[in-house]
Every structure is written in structure tokens, then in C-alpha cells.
């Protein structure tokens, strides 16, 4: 199964946090293979407290022989290993945020793991790096490609 994963960091050594997250993902998920990785973008925080440091964001696509729920559990474990508390205020600063964006054509409405990610089509900080690696991808429930969704976003 192919998975899109967004990585973001705005605390500490942001670039090192993202690289460490990718390294841990590759080390902890059995049979995982990195298909593609986008460049890293520096972006202004969205819906965060005033004065919040800018984020570094990227997207990777991996192939793994596991369920979306199993991979999601790995993502949460990696976030915690890099210092993100399990209980936290929404949109609080973070050493690493790992969000599953899609899992092939899976649609899930489970509150623990909604797929595809419910707000990704509205977020430039997700669509821009995703367009670097999968511009032609049409996500379940969308009629436009990732590149078209990105082009439709209002200018910042």
C-alpha cells in the first residue's frame, strides 16, 4: 500500500527533527520503502498562537505492507519519541507532526484516522510539497489533481 505522509516542525532544530522523523519511520516500520520525498518548505503557522515560529514542512510517499491503522500507530509513536506529548493543545508548537494524508484509495471516517486527510486540500503547506512528488494524484473524494487543487488555492 502507498501512503502519503506530511511532516512538519516548528520547535528546536526543525530540519533535524524532520530528518530524524523520516529515519525513524524507515527504521521502525517493517518492509517500508521510501518512494519519493519533496523538498522542505518554510511556511508561516496556520491557526497557531501569535508569535509561533515558522514551520518546516515536507511530504514523503512510502510503500509498506501494513494497514493504515498500523502505520498511524507508528507515526504517533515516532512523534512521542521526538518529544511531542500525547495530550496537547490543538495547533500548539511541536518538534514533529506526522500526518497521514492518504493510503492508496482508502476512505476512512474513523475519528482516530480520517482518510484522506480532511483539510489537506485547503492547505498550501501540504499541497505544495505533495505537488512536487505527486502532481497528478487525484485523492479519493476529489475531482481535481493535487496540482489543480494547489492552483485553486487563494494567493497568500
Q: Which pLDDT does position 94 carry in this prediction?
A: 77
Query: Hunting for cell 506526522 — which residue is that?
Result: 98
Cα separation of 143 and 145, whole Å? 7
pLDDT tens, position by position, 35-51: 999 999 999 887 777 77
Domains of the chain: 2-152 (3.30.70.560)
pLDDT tens, position by position, 88-140: 455 567 789 999 999 999 999 999 999 999 999 999 999 999 999 999 999 99
Residues with Cβ within 8 Å of residue 23, at least 6 apart in sequence? none
Amino acid at each position: 500500500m502507498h501512503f502519503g505522509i506530511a511532516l512538519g516542525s516548528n520547535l528546536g532544530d526543525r530540519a533535524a527533527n524532520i530528518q530524524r522523523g523520516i529515519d525513524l519511520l524507515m527504521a521502525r516500520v517493517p518492509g517500508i520503502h521510501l518512494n519519493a520525498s519533496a523538498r522542505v518548505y518554510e511556511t508561516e503557522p496556520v491557526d497557531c498562537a501569535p508569535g509561533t515560529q515558522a514551520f518546516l514542512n515536507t511530504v514523503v510517499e512510502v510503500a509498506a505492507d501494513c494497514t493504515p491503522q498500523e502505520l498511524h500507530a507508528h507515526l504517533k509513536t515516532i512523534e512521542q519519541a521526538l518529544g511531542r506529548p500525547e495530550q496537547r493543545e490543538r495547533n500548539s508548537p511541536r518538534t514533529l507532526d506526522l500526518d497521514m494524508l492518504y493510503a492508496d484509495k482508502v476512505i476512512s471516517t474513523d475519528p482516530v484516522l480520517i482518510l484522506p486527510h480532511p483539510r489537506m486540500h485547503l492547505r498550501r503547506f501540504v499541497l505544495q510539497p505533495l505537488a512536487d512528488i505527486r502532481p497528478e494524484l487525484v485523492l479519493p473524494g476529489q475531482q481535481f489533481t493535487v496540482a489543480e487543487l494547489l492552483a485553486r488555492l487563494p494567493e497568500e
